[in-house]
Amino acid sequence: MVDHKQPAEPAAANKPKLDLQAALEKLKLPGVNTQALLDSGRKDIEALLAANERVFTGVEALSRKQADLLVDIMKEWQASAKDAIAKGSASEKINHAASHAQRAFTHALANMKDMADIAAKSHEDVLSILNKRYQEGIEAFRNSVRKPT
């Protein structure tokens, strides 16, 4: 026997749609500007989205820098290995190895500084976005509670 039932609708299709503005207007709260309240919530979400985007950009930049660092390290190791097996006296090989080690250390310090700068800039940008929205929210609240003169 073949079952010809229709597939069940997704759960989201069965949920009622919430019209937040209509729900707030039905409450009829005196002195509450529902549109301003909704706009404030929308701006909060936009600020969080912008902050998340900046976090993602920062993580992406750090990942790129780490990948570049790995490529550079591999190249340095190859050069060091070639020098180690190259013909020459023991003192020349030691000098080459010391030179490679010094360059690698200097390069690593520069990359660590670059990565710290990228992370700091990302954190600064995120905090700036969130702080700006916080200040806007405080100002909107102050304006909403001021009594008309």
Does residue 92 belong to any structural domain of this protein? yes
- Counted domains in the chain: 1
Does residue 2 belong to any structural domain of this protein? no
Does residue 23 belong to any structural domain of this protein? no
Asked if residues 107 and 72 have their Cβ atoms less than 8 Å apart, the reply is: yes
Is this prediction's pTM over 0.75?
A: no
Does residue 56 belong to any structural domain of this protein? yes
Q: What's the whole-number average pLDDT of the chain?
A: 81
Residue 56: give the domain boundaries.
36-145
pLDDT tier for residue 102 given thresholds of 50, 70 and 90: confident
HSE-CB at 100 with a 13 A cutoff on CA atoms is 19
Does residue 29 belong to any structural domain of this protein? no
Does residue 64 belong to any structural domain of this protein? yes
Does residue 11 belong to any structural domain of this protein? no
- Angle CA(136)–CA(33)–CA(16) in degrees, nearest 5? 105
52-65 residue pLDDT tens = 999 999 999 999 99
3-state secondary structure 62-108: HHHHHHHHHHHHHHHHHHHHHHHHCCCCHHHHHHHHHHHHHHHHHHH
Report the pLDDT value the prediction gives residue 47, as an integer from 0 to 100: 93
